Structure 1
Amino acid sequence: MMTNLFSVFDPSAIFNLSLNWLSTFLGLLMIPSIYWLMPSRYNIYWNTILLTLHKEFKTLLGPSGHNGSSFIFISLFSLILFNNFMGLFPYIFTSTSHLTLTLSLALPLWLSFMLYGWINHTQHMFAHLVPQGTPAILMPFMVCIETISNVIRPGTLAVRLTANMIAGHLLLTLLGNTGPSMSYFLVTFLLIVQIALLVLESAVAMIQSYVFAVLSTLYSSEVN
């Protein structure tokens, strides 16, 4: 019996260790092996996805981006995607539904971009604070607005991912808890709704990991 609706997101502790966080590494089991003599279809499919992402991230980074810098965003996409998918399975802890993980991914990335930009491209970063064509009287306000929007970026990245994961899982849990008190006809209808929601959550898992990686890439491209 749940004492709190959000208790489904609590990491259980055994020997005072939150072992549920180890579910983050379950995604390693889904990565296809590269040691076969002949690559499997799964391997070819996964390599095609990574190559497509690499091309897109290279386009977003532009010609000024460093060689190989797209790989960190591909790794970020893979990590979030596997964690989101793992959370859809029963009794597996969804680590991306906690700000602890999402902020740990977003904050160091954003901070490193900002430090790199302000140290190496100071004038370019100052120019970003005032959009082109801004009237002189509005410049102080635009600097404040741009600064605030820049500072809250890691927070919006983290909260977006966390909120989407929590919302879908809460809806599935709420509907699932109403099952025992329903008639057989309504339970059949509930199962159809739950399957439809599960498909929707699978799409959300892919979309949110892609959005997180793309926005991180765009923030990186702005400091070059």
Structure 2
Amino acid sequence: MEQLDQQKLVSASPAMRGAAFSVHILTALGAGIALLALLEAVREHWAAMFGWLGAALAVDAIDGPIARRFDVARLQPNWSGDVLDLVVDFVTYVFVPAYAIAASGLLLPLAAPVEGAGIAVSGALYFADRRMKSADNHFRGFPGLWNVAAFYLFLLHPPPAISSFGVMALIALTFAPFHVVHPVRVKRLRWLTLSLVALWAALAVITVANDFNVGMPVIAALCAIAAYMVASDAAIRLLRSL
């Protein structure tokens, strides 16, 4: 099998290999976008930061299917798309949001640097956990989506004590044995999940475009979708056990 793959690689044209490598460049572009988001965060331009993080999320959503379409793993065997994806995801999903949460004034002053570091450490451990996904493709524990957690903190703007407690709870839940829906890979109710994700994305764009000044219907819809993503698996398991 390995010899056959080598023969196929030799027979691949430079254009095919170049196209495959361009997918790695697309994935790595997420790291550059993360830097732009961080620069906006340092300036306290929070809506602009979330705009760049949204762009990074869009890149993360499309690079996987494109990589499979161009057979990147076979045509560029010296470059690990999986490792590259994890590196970029850590920066965009964990590190930049950790800075935003710690520096935004949303947390108690004494808690902010400690919890910011806790987000970075727990996120790094989660991304290295081989049990990150269950057999049915659910995320195991809070899936390190600190960009989303930060979005809701800015949206709801709870008192610093409540925000600090919530962040601490999410850090602990990173290692808890519960399941969160993967919006693409979980087959059960996929049509509903993808529809809600599309609605969430549209509402999130509206929210960021309006600098988080949106009405209660938008806030309620965003919170309801988040509740579905977090609790639907547990609810279905409970109903089946009755």
Q: Could you state the TM-score of these two structures normalised by the residue count of structure 2?
A: 0.32
Q: Point out which structure has higher relative CO (alpha carbons under 8 A, 6+ apart).
A: 1
Q: Point out the structure with max Rg over C-alpha.
A: 1
